[in-house]
């Protein structure tokens, strides 16, 4: 490939890596060629392209970093994108859960259904909020 397309790491799990390639969205031939090239790399079990979403799913052995090094020249990925993709949702889940449970508590109270759903949801909101604060402090 003449110019390596820019790839954003959507998620990176052990043995699985999903990339978003906006420049190749809708380009069936380009994504198929990239998937074939990536699938031929050592340690890569399979590579599936989706022209509809402009994404590439890579199933591999080893680490994400090893795949990115081997695929150098095929696409260009931000070096810190894998770390952000893994850590951001994990850090936000307790706080998001607390907000959702608190919102549902208010809905239950407005419906005058205070027992037991509102109390249960309120309890969950409090526990998730405490967990989020504890994680933030550590």
Q: Could you tell me if 95 and 123 lie in one domain?
A: yes
Asked, for residue 1, whether it belongs to a domain, the answer is no
pTM strictly above 0.85: no
Q: Could you tell me if 21 and 71 lie in one domain?
A: yes
Q: How far is CA 69 from the centre of its chain?
A: 20
Taking residues 25-48, report their average pLDDT.
94
Range of the domain at 47: 6-79
Q: Does 102 or 15 have the greater pLDDT score?
A: 15
Per-residue pLDDT reduced to its tens digit, 61-92: 989 889 999 998 899 886 555 444 455 566 67
Identify the pLDDT of residue 18: 93
Contact 51, 31 (CB under 8 A): yes
Asked, for residue 84, whether it belongs to a domain, the answer is no
Counted domains in the chain:
2
User: Is the preceding omega at residue 116 within 30 degrees of 0, hence cis?
Assistant: yes
């Amino acid at each position: 490939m003449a110019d390596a397309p820019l790839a954003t790491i959507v998620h990176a799990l052990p043995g699985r890596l999903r990339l978003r390639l906006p420049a190749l969205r809708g380009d069936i031939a380009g994504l198929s060629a990239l998937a074939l090239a990536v699938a031929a790399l050592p340690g890569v079990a399979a590579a599936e392209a989706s022209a509809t979403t402009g994404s590439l799913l890579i199933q591999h052995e080893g680490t994400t970093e090893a795949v990115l090094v081997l695929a150098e020249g095929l696409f260009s990925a931000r070096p810190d994108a894998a770390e952000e993709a893994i850590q951001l949702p994990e850090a936000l889940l307790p706080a998001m859960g607390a907000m959702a449970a608190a919102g549902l508590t208010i809905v239950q109270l407005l419906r005058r259904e205070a027992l037991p759903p509102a109390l249960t949801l309120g309890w969950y909101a409090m526990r998730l909020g405490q967990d989020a604060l504890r994680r933030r402090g550590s």
